[in-house]
């Protein structure tokens, strides 16, 4: 009984204090004044009125936009460096009219679907294996833990040497940039499935494969979609980086081209499109997650 010996020294504390231990006549506890400034909008985690919420959301969009308009109209900054919102809008319209905007957008989206899609196809099963089997964790975690810290952009020269300047190297960068993170995040989610739920499933007659299929995967599904959502944003970043190097189409390519001709209005327009598409992807995945995770 090794543990007994270790705790035996504290034996004296086991006895309850004798009844009637008298409390000293110490002075009353000091009082603290009520804080003078405690706005209800800043109460921690407390709900705020609907109107305040919409006002704040509106302001967060309106303030930067107004500042942009004001700064551009004041003439303090040259139109070449900071185009007015109107100029950006018309540049965007012009790109849409010629069709190059949609061609670029489609080229970029295609790369994301391919590169990130492959990453999801590989990382989800890998993450499930890592999170479910200790053997999987022991075998995969060290390797993936190291690979994750290698920046994907540092692979660009190597990938160009290996795969050339075409599509494969761009898809590969996206893949490398997202696959390891998504694996580790999936593994974490899977490891969060309560042991009691797994134990009870065995006592209901489930076998290992059934526990995996009918308990672990359904329980982890909403969390796995969350991981994909976070990493989709990363994929969207990497694709633009990849296109800055050598591409003949794509939103990143369009930015580089516009830079050559000092078309800052075009750059801004592309940035707006990237932001809007990113937001749309995020909202779609969030909607999917909420549907799948209605039970949580």
Partner 1 sequence: MGVTGVLELKGVAKDFRVRRGTLRALDGVDLQTSAGEFVCVVGASGSGKSTLLSLIAGLMRPTAGQITLDGRPVTRPGPDRGLVFQTGSLYPWRTVEENVGFGLELLPLPKPERARRIEWYLEETGLAALRTSLPRQLSGGQQQRVAIARALACEPDVLLLDEPFGALDVQTKEDMQVLVRRVWQDTGTTVLMVTHDVEEAAFLGQRIVVLACDPGRVATEIPVPLPEDRALAVKRTPEFLALRASVEDLVRAQHHRHLARSGG
| Candidates 43-51, 84-92, 205-213, 236-244; binding stretch for partner 1 (CB under 8 A) | 205-213
Find the shortest distance in angstroms from Cβ 220 to partner 1. Answer: 11
| Residue placing its CB nearer to partner 1 in the complex, 7 or 55 | 7
| Candidates 12-20, 74-82, 155-163, 224-232; binding stretch for partner 1 (CB under 8 A) | 12-20
* Contact present, 289 and 222 (Cβ < 8 Å): yes
| Residue placing its CB nearer to partner 1 in the complex, 63 or 200 | 200
Q: By CB under 8 A, is residue 31 in contact with partner 1?
A: no
**Rounded to an integer, what distance in angstroms lies between the CA atom of residue 1 and that of residue 132?**
34
Q: By CB under 8 A, is residue 3 in contact with partner 1?
A: yes
**Rounded to an integer, what distance in angstroms lies between the CA atom of residue 261 and that of residue 80?**
11
For 200-214, b/e burial (b = at least 16 CB within 10 A) is: ebeeeebeeeebbee
| Residue placing its CB nearer to partner 1 in the complex, 16 or 29 | 16
Closest CA to 274 of 151, 60, 109, 72: 109
**Rounded to an integer, what distance in angstroms lies between the CA atom of residue 179 and that of residue 198?**
28
Q: By CB under 8 A, is residue 25 in contact with partner 1?
A: no
| Candidates 35-43, 158-166, 173-181, 213-221; binding stretch for partner 1 (CB under 8 A) | 213-221
| Residue placing its CB nearer to partner 1 in the complex, 35 or 205 | 205
Residue choice 166, 192, 218, 275 for contact with partner 1 (CB under 8 A): 218
**Rounded to an integer, what distance in angstroms lies between the CA atom of residue 244 and that of residue 152?**
14
Tokens at residue 218, please?
């359904």
Q: How far is CA 284 from the centre of its chain?
A: 14
Residue choice 31, 37, 203, 260 for contact with partner 1 (CB under 8 A): 203
- Using CB under 8 A as the binding criterion, the count of chain residues that bind partner 1 stands at 32
**Rounded to an integer, what distance in angstroms lies between the CA atom of residue 31 and that of residue 122?**
60
Residue choice 57, 199, 248, 286 for contact with partner 1 (CB under 8 A): 199
Q: How far is CA 193 from the centre of its chain?
A: 21
Q: Is the dihedral of CA 23, 27, 28, 32 positive or negative?
A: negative
| Residue placing its CB nearer to partner 1 in the complex, 200 or 276 | 200
| Residue placing its CB nearer to partner 1 in the complex, 225 or 239 | 225
| Residue placing its CB nearer to partner 1 in the complex, 6 or 161 | 6
| Candidates 34-42, 211-219, 239-247, 278-286; binding stretch for partner 1 (CB under 8 A) | 211-219
Q: Is the dihedral of CA 54, 60, 65, 70 positive or negative?
A: positive
**Rounded to an integer, what distance in angstroms lies between the CA atom of residue 180 and that of residue 287?**
25
Residue choice 18, 99, 205, 260 for contact with partner 1 (CB under 8 A): 205
E strand segments, 230-296: none
Chain residues in the site for partner 1 (CB under 8 A): 1-4, 6-14, 194, 196-197, 199-207, 210, 214-215, 218-219, 295-296
């Amino acid at each position: 009984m090794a543990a007994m010996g270790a705790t035996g020294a504290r034996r004296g504390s086991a006895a309850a204090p004798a009844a009637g231990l008298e409390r000293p006549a110490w002075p009353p506890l000091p009082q603290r004044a009520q804080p003078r400034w405690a706005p209800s909008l800043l109460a921690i985690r407390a709900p705020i009125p609907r109107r305040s919420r919409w006002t704040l959301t509106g302001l967060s969009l309106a303030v930067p936009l107004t500042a942009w308009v004001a700064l551009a109209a004041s003439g303090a900054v040259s139109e070449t460096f900071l185009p007015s919102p109107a100029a950006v809008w018309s540049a965007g319209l012009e790109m849409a009219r010629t069709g190059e905007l949609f061609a670029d957008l489609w080229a970029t989206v295609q790369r994301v679907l391919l590169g990130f899609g492959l990453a999801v196809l590989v990382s989800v099963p890998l993450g499930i294996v890592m999170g479910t089997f200790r053997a999987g964790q022991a075998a995969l975690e060290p390797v993936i833990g190291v690979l994750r810290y290698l920046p994907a952009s540092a692979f660009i020269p190597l990938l160009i040497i290996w795969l050339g300047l075409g599509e494969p190297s761009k898809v590969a960068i996206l893949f490398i940039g997202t696959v390891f993170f998504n694996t580790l995040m999936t593994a974490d989610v899977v490891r969060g499935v309560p042991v009691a739920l797994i134990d009870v499933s065995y006592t209901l007659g489930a076998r290992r494969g059934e526990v995996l299929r009918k308990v672990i995967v359904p329980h982890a599904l909403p969390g796995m979609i969350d991981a994909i959502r976070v990493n989709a944003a990363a994929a969207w970043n990497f694709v633009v980086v990849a296109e800055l190097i050598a591409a003949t189409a794509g939103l990143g390519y369009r930015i580089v081209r516009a830079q050559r001709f000092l078309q800052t209005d075009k750059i801004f327009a592309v940035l707006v499109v990237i932001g809007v598409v990113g937001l749309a992807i995020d909202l779609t995945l969030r909607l999917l997650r909420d549907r799948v995770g209605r039970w949580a």
